[in-house]
Amino acid sequence: MARLDQIARLIRSKNAGPFCLTLDVLFVDEAAHRRVVDAGAITREKMAALHQRPLEHVVVYHHPAALALKVSIVPAGSVMDTDLYGAQQHVLPYPIEIA
């Protein structure tokens, strides 16, 4: 077993407009990308639970040609949110275990 942050080349988060958070997970090679996809580690259900959002607010995009996964959460944030740029949300999926 390995953690997502040990397999991915880059995990980043940022706002994608005033109401959308985007999370990018990029891999160094096809084997690493396929390992995470086949493990079902990044799904709408898992990302919604991790970010404490309703399922209908989360979309997961697969980009095999770019060796990447993208998660979009709309709407993102709340009145009491202190991370206006979404710059610290990338750490949440780090400990996800990949078989």
Using one digit for the tens of pLDDT, what is the confidence trace for 56-87?
999 999 999 999 999 999 876 666 666 667 77
pLDDT of residue 30: 97
Give the pLDDT confidence score for residue 50 in this predicted structure. 92
Global pTM value: 0.86
d(CA 57, CA 99): 27
Q: How far is CA 7 from CA 4, 21, 27, 69, 71, in A?
A: 5, 22, 7, 13, 17
- Alpha-carbon distance of 80 to 65, in angstroms, equals 38
Residue 74's SS3 state is coil
